[in-house]
């Protein structure tokens, strides 16, 4: 009897243990499946990278421009960011446009902009594009060589021509445009005479000091040179009317160069060489100035790696043991001898020691947009994006960090080196001042999706540009419509408007 009872008890215990284990496994499987399902239904599409276009910010820049450069009429360089709603807003606000091709001319005319508000500012024009300009009455254009004159004489002889000269070579810019465009000022006189003998119609002089000009003097010294050539044109009998001082203005002020200072320098030179009494129409072709600060790119962290210096004797340790153990770190600074084992008494001391040990040598993040997408400015514009966290990081301790884009190409690096606190997969980072030469250069490389755009504007800018807010296309931003705002410092811009019609896929954000 005793034996039978013992056997029964053992069997019951074994059965109970097995059943409990099976139940635990089933519960774990079910919970993780539900979690997964919830993750995919709740997150899918909601973690796509996106671009916020603050058209109100561009309007503030326009007001700043009008205040400091009242004599200079801006013709926005479409190439810098041709986004249709952005250009539309500038068009409504009264800005003219610099177009470099048939496509850009078509794009701007399509917004209802009159051809007289466009300058075809590409000295080397595709013939088909030149003919398109002629057919659509875009008659103001630049040239810098006799070959272009021959082409224009044949296809658009009544065009109003602006001679592009090289800017002062003494003053450097991040992007030197003198090598590609602009005639040497010394050659300008011959070109003017040639144009005269060909019966063409020269009306002005233009230049571009280069992208991201490093000092303001390049404008004033080149304005002086332009004046000599302009005056010579008058002497030749041309009806000279236009001075075009190009682009090169920064998107945001730096410690060494402010827009205000650049404007003061330009105004002084204009007053000296082109006083209002001369009747010259002064224009400019700013690109970066308007676009850069109006665009913010928000991206999701899709993957992460925490790199540590090589360690010894790891074969028999678990992953967690290796992660938490500092003792066997090979101190690369000291001939690969193991770092001294330290007593872990005080928390501060430990974290200091960790830093000394260089336990984490680098944290790498992979984002869902990169240098072949909205961050093209990293490859083409020397831009150094600064990551900002949407949610405050759990610790403020910073680590050497590298940030990569989502493609498999090693050029797809958003930030080579920076210091930042750790964030987790799924968290949002955002990058400001991202509008210049960025999304317009994005590709579909690796068939990655391009970031979607959404548009915002403060109420007063919108009202000033589009009239009263009764406009049915407008919808007040409400909490919850776009959850990202509730985390972001952009929340401070209360009263923000979203023009719903412009944002076909708010759900996708």
Tally Cβ neighbours within 10 Å of residue 268.
14
Site for ligand PLP in 56-85 (CB under 6 A): 77, 80
Q: How far is the CB of 250 from ligand PLP (least distance, A)?
A: 8
Name the token pair of 293.
């600060």
Single residue of 47, 54, 83, 98 touching ligand PLP by CB under 6 A: 98
Please say which residue, 177 or 339, places its beta carbon nearer to ligand PLP.
177
Site for ligand PLP contains 121 (CB under 6 A): yes
Give the span between the Cα atoms of 141 and 413, in whole angstroms: 38
Taking residues 325 to 344 in sequence order and writing x for each that binds ligand PLP by CB under 6 A, - otherwise, the string is --------------------
Q: How far is the CB of 100 from ligand PLP (least distance, A)?
A: 7
Tell me which residue of 172, 239, 245 sits closest to 210, measured CA to CA.
172
Please say which residue, 64 or 331, places its beta carbon nearer to ligand PLP.
64
Single residue of 248, 370, 405, 406 touching ligand PLP by CB under 6 A: 248
Name the token pair of 436.
């210049």
Stretch that binds ligand PLP, among 37-45, 60-68, 244-252, 254-262 (CB under 6 A): 244-252
Active site residue 440: no
Q: How far is the CB of 286 from ligand PLP (least distance, A)?
A: 5
Site for ligand PLP contains 168 (CB under 6 A): no
Stretch that binds ligand PLP, among 190-198, 240-248, 274-282, 324-332 (CB under 6 A): 240-248
Site for ligand PLP contains 171 (CB under 6 A): no
Please say which residue, 151 or 196, places its beta carbon nearer to ligand PLP.
151
- Give the count of residues interacting with ligand PLP (CB under 6 A): 15
State the Rg of the chain over Cα. 31
Tell me which residue of 54, 140, 152, 155 sits closest to 99, measured CA to CA.
140
Site for ligand PLP contains 246 (CB under 6 A): yes
Name the token pair of 429.
């980072």
- Residue whose C-beta lies closest to ligand PLP: 247
CB contact set of 283 (below 8 Å; sequence gap of 6+): 72, 73, 74, 75, 96, 119, 242, 243, 244, 245
CB contact set of 106 (below 8 Å; sequence gap of 6+): 132
Residue 69: half-sphere exposure toward Cβ, Cα within 13 Å: 25
**Do 412 and 422 contact (CB within 8 A), yes or no?**
no
Q: How far is the CB of 181 from ligand PLP (least distance, A)?
A: 7
Task: Name the catalytic one among 183, 206, 218, 408.
Answer: 408
Q: How far is the CB of 121 from ligand PLP (least distance, A)?
A: 4
Name the token pair of 57.
């910010």
Give the span between the Cα atoms of 223 and 183, in whole angstroms: 15
Give the span between the Cα atoms of 438 and 47, in whole angstroms: 20
Site for ligand PLP in 256-315 (CB under 6 A): 285-289
Single residue of 74, 96, 204, 211 touching ligand PLP by CB under 6 A: 211
Please say which residue, 185 or 287, places its beta carbon nearer to ligand PLP.
287
Strand 337-338, strand 330-331: pairing: antiparallel
Please say which residue, 130 or 329, places its beta carbon nearer to ligand PLP.
130
Single residue of 125, 129, 208, 499 touching ligand PLP by CB under 6 A: 208
Give the span between the Cα atoms of 376 and 489, in whole angstroms: 25
Site for ligand PLP in 399-418 (CB under 6 A): none
Give the span between the Cα atoms of 288 and 382, in whole angstroms: 13
Give the span between the Cα atoms of 504 and 345, in whole angstroms: 57
Please say which residue, 77 or 371, places its beta carbon nearer to ligand PLP.
77
Alpha-helical segments (H) within 1-145: 2-43, 55-68, 84-92, 102-109, 127-135
Please say which residue, 123 or 373, places its beta carbon nearer to ligand PLP.
123
DSSP state of 338: E
Name the token pair of 88.
């539309």
Tell me which residue of 91, 115, 90 sits closest to 105, measured CA to CA.
115
Please say which residue, 54 or 381, places its beta carbon nearer to ligand PLP.
381
Site for ligand PLP contains 185 (CB under 6 A): no
Long-range contacts of 478-484 (CB under 8 A, 24+ apart): 481/506, 482/454, 482/506, 482/509, 484/298, 484/390, 484/428, 484/509
Q: How far is the CB of 291 from ligand PLP (least distance, A)?
A: 8
What are the two backbone dihedrals, phi and then psi, of residue 463, each rounded to the nearest 5 degrees? -65, -40
Single residue of 82, 247, 373, 387 touching ligand PLP by CB under 6 A: 247
Q: How far apart are the first and last CA of the chain?
A: 71
Please say which residue, 185 or 247, places its beta carbon nearer to ligand PLP.
247
Single residue of 132, 238, 249, 274 touching ligand PLP by CB under 6 A: 249
Q: How far is the CB of 169 from ligand PLP (least distance, A)?
A: 17
CB contact set of 366 (below 8 Å; sequence gap of 6+): 301, 302, 303, 304, 404, 405, 406
- Which residue ranges make up the site for ligand PLP (CB under 6 A)? 77, 80, 98, 121, 208, 211, 246-249, 285-289
| Active site residue ranges | 408
């Amino acid at each position: 009897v005793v034996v039978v009872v013992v056997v029964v008890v053992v069997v019951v215990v074994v059965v109970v243990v097995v059943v409990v284990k099976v139940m635990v496994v089933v519960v774990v499987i079910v919970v993780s499946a539900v979690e997964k399902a919830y993750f995919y239904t709740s997150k899918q599409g909601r973690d796509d990278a996106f671009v916020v276009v603050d058209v109100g910010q561009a309007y503030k820049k326009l007001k700043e421009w009008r205040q400091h450069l009242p004599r200079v009429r801006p013709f926005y360089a479409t190439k810098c960011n041709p986004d249709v709603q952005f250009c539309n807003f500038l068009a409504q606000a009264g800005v003219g446009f610099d177009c470099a091709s048939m496509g850009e001319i078509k794009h701007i005319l399509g917004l209802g902009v009159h051809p007289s508000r466009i300058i075809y500012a590409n000295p080397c024009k595709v013939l088909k594009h030149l003919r398109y300009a002629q057919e659509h009455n875009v008659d103001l254009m630049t040239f810098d060589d006799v070959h272009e004159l021959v082409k224009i004489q044949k296809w658009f002889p009544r065009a109003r021509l602006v001679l592009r000269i090289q800017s002062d070579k003494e003053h450097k810019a991040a992007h030197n445009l003198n090598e590609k465009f602009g005639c040497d000022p010394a050659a300008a006189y011959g070109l003017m005479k040639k144009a005269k003998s060909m019966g063409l119609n020269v009306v002005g002089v233009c230049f571009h000091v280069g992208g991201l000009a490093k000092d303001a003097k390049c404008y004033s010294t080149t304005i002086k040179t332009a004046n000599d050539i302009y005056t010579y044109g008058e002497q030749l009998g041309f009806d000279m009317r236009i001075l075009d001082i190009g682009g090169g203005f920064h998107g945001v002020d730096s410690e060494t160069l402010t827009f205000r200072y650049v404007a003061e320098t330009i105004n002084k030179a204009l007053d000296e060489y082109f006083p209002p009494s001369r009747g010259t129409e002064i224009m400019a072709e700013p690109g970066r100035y308007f676009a850069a600060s109006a665009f913010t790119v928000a991206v999701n962290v899709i993957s992460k790696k925490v790199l540590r210096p090589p360690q010894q004797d790891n074969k028999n340790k678990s992953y967690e043991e290796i992660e938490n153990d500092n003792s066997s770190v090979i101190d690369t600074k000291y001939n690969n001898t193991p770092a001294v084992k330290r007593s872990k008494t005080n928390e501060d001391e430990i974290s200091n020691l960790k830093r000394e040990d260089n336990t984490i040598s680098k944290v790498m993040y992979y984002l869902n947009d990169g240098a072949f997408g909205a961050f093209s400015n990293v490859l083409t514009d020397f831009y150094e994006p600064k990551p900002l966290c949407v949610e405050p990081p759990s610790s403020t301790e910073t680590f050497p960090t590298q940030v990569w884009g989502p493609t498999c190409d090693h050029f797809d690096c958003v930030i080579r080196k920076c210091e930042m606190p750790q964030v987790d997969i799924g968290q949002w980072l955002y990058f400001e001042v991202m509008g210049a030469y960025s999304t317009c250069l994005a590709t579909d490389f690796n068939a990655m999706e391009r970031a979607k755009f959404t548009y915002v504007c403060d109420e007063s800018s919108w009202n000033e540009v589009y009239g009263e807010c009764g406009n049915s296309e407008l919808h007040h931003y409400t909490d919850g419509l776009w959850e990202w705002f509730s985390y972001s410092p952009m929340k401070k811009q209360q009263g923000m408007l979203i023009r719903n019609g412009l944002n076909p896929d708010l759900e996708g954000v």
